[in-house]
Amino acid sequence: MKKILVIGGSRYFGKHLVTLERDAGNEVTVLNRGSTAPPRGVGHLVADREDEAGLRAALGERTFDVVFDQVCYTPGQAETARRVFAGRTGRYVMTSTMEVHDPAPPTPGARAYAEGKRRAEDVLGAEPAFGLVAVRAAHVLGGGRAEFTGRLAHYVERVRAGIPVVVHKAPYPTSFVHHHEIARFLRWAGERDFTGPVNAASHGELDVLGLSGAVAERVGRAPRLRTVAAGSEASPFSFDRAYAMDNGRAAALGFRFRRLEDWLPEAIGETAEVIGR
């Protein structure tokens, strides 16, 4: 039995990660600010991760085999985590994002988010305080109401209502991963001994036209499209430059990804069912 700490882990695939670790027989603790109680059979620590003294007090003398950090967004948060968890864990798995070096669309908010994640990766990996893995996740879909970003719902709502989906004239494909698959990947990464950044994406790429078509097939109505030029604002997942990611390192290390085409219709169906209620 391993001792696992999940920082965050209150919703979506982080919550699924917690239950995966618990069901595997591990001793799991969730650390958050107290807004959400963890699932049954999971320990709970309440602290603000940016309050170093409070974080140390909440942790006490606890040590962990693996720490999963679901909510590290800034270099300041990473610096605090590095100081606090040095000597407390041998392995640290940070959930990062495919946008770290190339946010799209490159809005000020997206740039700030990507820069924060990238610098947080750099801080945590600067010196060998622990073995660091930065899991750069593709666009996460599935889960119906649990998929809180609303990006897939954007397509289901528009296609069903006959509202145009705004797409670039020559859209490029991007990468996706199912919410259960990214949780499984995170747990798998915690059990291995490799370090460094690693991409997590299902096999297969899809552009906005293919996504609109997949939604149309599920809801039974042809999509309406409105085309805009490169550089213009468009619907989520419409990209005017190459925006897919390579999962080759993870696959070579032994993780078996699913194919996008095998789970996307079900994810669309879950979202359509929630919207239809």
Taking only the tens place, the pLDDT of each residue in 210-223 is: 999 999 999 999 99
Confidence band for 96, pLDDT divided at 50, 70 and 90: very high
Q: Write down the pTM of the prediction.
A: 0.94
pLDDT of residue 277: 55
Q: What is the pLDDT of residue 10?
A: 84
Q: Residue 46 has what pLDDT?
A: 96
171 within 8 A of 238, measured Cβ to Cβ: yes
- Give the pLDDT score at 164: 96
Indicate if the pLDDT at residue 128 is higher than 90. Answer: no
Return the beta strands (E) in the chain as ranges. 3-7, 27-32, 43-46, 66-69, 91-97, 131-137, 139-141, 165-168, 176-178, 196-200, 225-228
Q: Residue 175 has what pLDDT?
A: 97
What's the pLDDT score for residue 178?
97
51 has pLDDT over 90: yes
Tokens, residue 17: 């990660």
* Pairing mode of beta strands 165-168, 225-228: parallel
Q: 104-133 burial, b for 16+ CB within 10 Å, e for fewer?
A: beeeeeeeebbbbbbbbbebbbeeebbbbb
Mean pLDDT of 110-138: 91
Say which residue the tokens 């979202």 belong to. 271
pLDDT of residue 106: 79
What does pLDDT average to over the chain? 94
> Sorting pLDDT into bands at 50, 70 and 90, what band is 48?
very high
